[in-house]
Chains A and B, each alone.
Chain A
Amino acid sequence: MRKRATTSSATSSPKNARAGGCFAIIWCSVSSLFLIGGIFLIIKGVKEASWIEVPCEIERLEVTWQQAEAEPFDIETVFSYQYEGQNYRSERFSSNSSRGDDYEKLYEKTLDAREQSACYLDPANPSEAVLATSPLTILAGGILTAVSTLFLAIGLWIGLSSRRKGKALSSGGKTSQSARKSRAGPIAFSIFFLVGLIAFLLFSLPSFRKHQALKSWPSAPATVIWSEVRSHQGDDGTTYSVDIFYQYRFQGNDYHSNRYKFLRGSSSGRAAKAEIVASYPAGRSLEVFVNPEKPWQAVIERRPGWALVFLFFPAPFLLIGGIGLASHFRKGSSVHSPRSAHLPRRSDAPALPIKPGKRSRFGKFFGLLVFALFWNGIVSVFVFLAWKSGSGGSPDWFLTIFIIPFVLIGLVVIAALPHSLLALFSPYFSFELSPPELVPGTRVTAKWRQSGGSGAMSAMSLTLVGEEIATYQQGTDTRTATSTFHRQIVKESTRRDEIMAGQAEFVIPTNAVPSFQSAHNQIRWFLIHHVAVAQRPDVRDEVPLTIHPHMQSDFS
């Protein structure tokens, strides 16, 4: 019988494997639904693409309207065509529904169809023909299929990775699993960045350009045909939009449009929309602004208003993706050999003197300031919407109650700012440690001196601290747990001269675990320098210590 070494063990792999397996099943199921949808679209697109194009004579092609309908506009058409010597007649515009609530969009479809003067028929049933096919169906199906296949592959990979029974424990290391894990981060950040970039190029940039061009659109006289607030039922309640349908005359021709602003959409809060609609009753004359290059495009209101905020939608994706990728590549640039990996390099001794406070205090203040501006900036938009709905007589209670915790967080962050700002003016200290290279058992001399800042200091302490820091994934969140295993006060004083400049001697415990850092786990040593300051935030700086393992000569 062989002897074995026993070591302590906390959480073991099977729990993670089960969680990974369940997650993978849900992930794969959802991805599969999208994949089926994508394949269905491709089949539909391919079927349509096999239809034959034949010349046709359009007898009637126009956008009609019925105010009472939820989608008030429809394309009505009559056209005739010949196939294999037979005459046919059809009234179908496309294989999909030709109804809609955007007049301009439907009108553009009729222009395209008129320009082509061709129809598409099913060779198996020549009496079935349409004026317009949807060439984007295959593209949309292809994109949906590709994206959902990618997600399905990720789900399968997660599922297979969680089936580790019988697999080598060591292969979870640099050669495979941790290498895969280290790739997962940049892949996720790349996807974020890509989504942001695509949204910026396809949505934000054209919208910005159109908004700029819109400023030079000439005006034209118009008459309101109808105006009403339209309701839209959604998963998160009812939203409303302004629907003002008008006729206008531009360069001798009559046109119609129901575009109020250049960005369409609906939102909660009926009162504000009702107010707009009330100011444009049916029959009222008004001035609209017309695109001189495409005179069927017009708007009543040229100012973008709050809708402009939506154009910044890609910004968080670009920022998170970009910062994540930059930080990953910066981390990846310092690679140690496997023998010494995760141990601090002996050449990594900090430059003397160490000035611990300045950077962290400025970083904390500006970090808090940026967060406060970002958080409260976003929250204020919703506060304004809630206030507007309330002042309009029909308060949006759901929105009002929903934003309360977000507002409270914003207020707490603002309240923390003065403390953080005051800390910038508290005293700063510089430290010198000797010897510069520390191993367990080293006798250390730490010297400090006030190097800036001001304040009446009444007491100080210097504490040697050792911490375990573990980073772990919980659902989609990355969490960090910290446990202190060593805490030793090495100096305390209430003498003013000693607080301003002094020294302390202490010994690194002989059985200390050296500093260590791997991808998710860390052993960290540092000194906490705490100085009580009157009428200012206390100084609470951390002086990092690097404790190396013993050298070979220490064992001989």
Chain B
Amino acid sequence: MMDEPEYPGAPRWVKVAAGTAVVLILILLVLLLLKSPGGHAPGRHLSLTAAAVTFAPLGGG
């Protein structure tokens, strides 16, 4: 019976790209957590003034 050749493993570019992606995702997560405890909420993209205008009651006050 012939032995099957062994899987040579992932090439170097895959390991480098996957490692880079993991590092970038971790940095992004840390930045998001530092900026907003609520995560990637769309509201965090607005400045405070903008948010105040957006969510102000229609009747003013």
Do A and B come from the same complex?
A: no
Chain A residues engaging chain B, CB cutoff 8 angstroms? none
Chain B residues engaging chain A, CB cutoff 8 angstroms? none
